[in-house]
Structure 1
Amino acid sequence: MRTLFSGEVRLAYGQFYIWSAGRNSLEDSFAGQRAGMCGGAVPGHLYLVTATHTGSAPITVELHETEPPLDADVWEDIVEVSFRPASADVWLMEWDSGWYPLPLSETSYQVRYHCRGMDEARKALRDPGEPVVEEYLLRFWPSPPAPDRVVKETSQYAAYWHEFARKQPPGPTPEELAEAERQAREREAYIKMQKEMDEWGGRLPSDRLRGVRDKLRRIKGYPMGLVGLDAALVHAIDAAGPEEQRALARWAAHRACETAGLSEIDWVVRGLAELDRGEPYSPPLDDLRRLRDAVLSEARVPRSHDGSPGLPQVAAFTALFDAAAPDPLKAALDTLLATAVTHDTNCPHLFAEVRRTFPVMAIAPEAERSGRQ
């Protein structure tokens, strides 16, 4: 035998609990039981009733290897229920504050709840350290599930709770619980699917799009990225394949540099030629920090009123850098988004030109059929 807990427990509303997951209510805890005092109808929970409404009482929790002696001559009221922890974390829990760990395995137990002094405690107030009026003992031992039962009934208070328990309708059957869990999982999956569809313009993305989603560049002012500008085009680019994606990235980088007025800068021209040939960039395009320094020092880069490179120019250099990304889908999407920024409000014209230049991207692929779209 091991004593898992022994001490004063703060009581509020005449209750404390053994908790391992989720939530429980008074009525659900006693649903379908014959025995009051210890509600075990909710999996993973025990709802334990005490006579003291607000105060404290000594409580002991024991774990036995086999069924312990009944000790019916020592205790006034005794009930038994079955209990199986719903997780590896099991606690003796006060109503509003204290949590005391109980090292119980995730196996089936029989629980015997022993009570004495309840009728006297109903008429008295007791603070910690004062003489004991009521006392409680919980004993656990491994056992297959069994119906709850009243082992011994003496007090009027216990009789009240036994009557309360017998008025509660039976709870759901294991089959009903399993069906409810299945329906909850289906609802959760459906909500998740609908959210994902909303994020991708009303249809589900491919696994490739899901794979690059968290790697795509974020540009201030475009929180939804390219999907927020033209979701159908995003799906068409995804379906087009690596060669078309790489070609689009090159095309978009040229268009961005042209739109931003960078096409006459010699190292930009050199970089575009390297991109077209599939060669690694030479400096300063080979490193993002080196590129930033070159842009800031390049007098031929158009400037805004405060002397810094303008947004179209910054976006064009971003497009040029992103076009060489190893992943062709990421390269195409990032480069086209940056190119769209260089076009500002003329994005629809840009996207129309993409569709004319790359006919395979003119029509979005058929949406995945899930039976719920």
Structure 2
Amino acid sequence: MRTLFSDEVHVAYRQIYVCSDGIHSPEDSFAGQRAGLCGGAVPGHLFLLTGTHTGSVPITVELHETEPPLDADLWEDIVEVSFRPVSDKIELAEWDSRWYPLPLSETTYRVRYHCRGMDEARTAVGDAREPAVEEYLLRFWPSPPAPDRIVKETSQAAAYWHEYARKQPPGPTPEEQAQAERQAREEEERTALRREMDAWGGRLPSDRLRDVQGKLRGIQGYPMGLVGLDAALVHAIDAADPEEQRALARWAAHRACETAGLSEIDWVARGLAELNRGEPYSPPLDDPQRLRDAAFSDARIPHPHDGSPGLPQVAAFAALFDAAAPDPLKAALDALLAAAVTHDTDWPHLFAEVRRTFPATAIAPEAERSDRQ
């Protein structure tokens, strides 16, 4: 036998707990039991009742290798329940106060709760100088699950709590609990599915779209990204073949630079030609810092604010870099979003031009269906 705990603990509302997953209500803890005093209906939790409403009571917790002697003549009230921790963190807990670790294994135990002096404690006036009028003993030993039982009943307090327990309706069976959990998971999945479909314009994105979304879902000033502007176009571009996606990326970069007034600048024109040929960019487009220096120093680039390039020009340079991305789908989507930024509120005309120039994007692909909808 090992003594796991032996001391006074503070009780409030006549409650102490053994917890491995949090504290549960008395209704749940005694659901379906005939025995009061020790509620064991919630897996991994014991709800212990005392005579004292608020104050300190002595309690001892013991762990036995086998069933201990009953000792019925030493205690006024005794009940038994089964208990199995649901985590490796098991504690004796005060009501909204301190917790004391109990070194128990994650196995099934039989628990015997012994009580003495409950009636006296219900009417006594607490005095720290007087010996406690009540005492409690909690014994654990390994044992298969079994129904709760009243071993001995003497006090009026015990009779009251036994009657309370018998009034609590049984909790769900393991099968019912499993079904409820399964239904909750399915509902969470349906909710997540509906949320995702709403975010992608009423249909599910392909795995490819999920992989490349990046800036697709939002950049500065365009928090909803390309999906928020025209979800049907996004899905149509996703359905296009890689060659058409690459062509669209190049086209978007050209339109962005033209709209931003950059196409006639020699080193930008050279970059667009290199993009068309699939070649690496030459300076200053080959390095972000060199590009930044060129963008600030070249007087031919519009600088509407404090000598800095304006948003259309910044977006056009972004379209150049986006269009050269290795993944053709990402290149097309990101470059088109950057081009839309250069067009500001005129982006619907840009997207109409996309559909005319690339007929495959004018046909919305059939929405994917899901049995979970």
SS in structure 1 at match of 2:151: strand
CA deviation after TM superposition for structure 1 residue 226, in Å: 0.6
Matching of residues 294-313 of structure 1 within 5 Å: 294-313=294-313
Amino acid at match of 1:95: W
Matching of residues 241-280 of structure 1 within 5 Å: 241-280=241-280
Q: Is residue 2:335 matched to residue 1:368?
A: no
Which residue does the alignment assign to 2:348?
348
CA deviation after TM superposition for structure 1 residue 165, in Å: 0.8
SS in structure 1 at match of 2:72: coil
Deviates more, 1:69-78 or 1:221-230: 69-78
Cα separation, 1, equivalents of 2:21 and 2:283: 59
Q: Is residue 2:291 matched to residue 1:284?
A: no
Q: Is residue 2:151 matched to residue 1:151?
A: yes
Which residue does the alignment assign to 2:93?
93
**Contact 2:271 2:285 survives alignment (8 Å):** yes
Q: Is residue 2:56 matched to residue 1:56?
A: yes
Which residue does the alignment assign to 1:238?
238
Deviations 1:130-170 (A, max 9, x none): 52222222222222110001112221111111111112222
**Contact 1:355 1:362 survives alignment (8 Å):** yes
Stretches of structure 2 lacking an aligned partner (at least 5 in a row): none
Of all paired residues, the percent bearing the same amino acid is 81
CA deviation after TM superposition for structure 1 residue 331, in Å: 1.8
Amino acid at match of 2:274: E
- C-alpha change, 1:215 and 1:336, in structure 2 (3 Å) is closer
Which residue does the alignment assign to 1:330?
330
Deviations 1:306-360 (A, max 9, x none): 3321111111111111112222222222111111000111111111111122122
Cα separation, 2, equivalents of 1:231 and 1:129: 76
Cα separation, 1, equivalents of 2:53 and 2:260: 76
Amino acid at match of 1:13: Y
SS in structure 1 at match of 2:183: helix
CA deviation after TM superposition for structure 1 residue 96, in Å: 1.4
Matching of residues 1-373 of structure 1 within 5 Å: 1-21=1-21, 24-126=24-126, 131-214=131-214, 216=216, 218-373=218-373
SS in structure 2 at match of 1:100: strand
**Contact 1:120 1:134 survives alignment (8 Å):** yes
SS in structure 2 at match of 1:367: coil
SS in structure 2 at match of 1:269: helix
Aligned length: 373
Deviates more, 1:19-28 or 1:171-180: 19-28
**Contact 2:80 2:111 survives alignment (8 Å):** yes
Q: TM-score, normalised by structure 2?
A: 0.93
Cα separation, 2, equivalents of 1:140 and 1:248: 72
**Contact 1:45 1:85 survives alignment (8 Å):** yes
- C-alpha change, 1:291 and 1:61, in structure 2 (3 Å) is farther
CA deviation after TM superposition for structure 1 residue 94, in Å: 2.1
Stretches of structure 1 lacking an aligned partner (at least 5 in a row): none
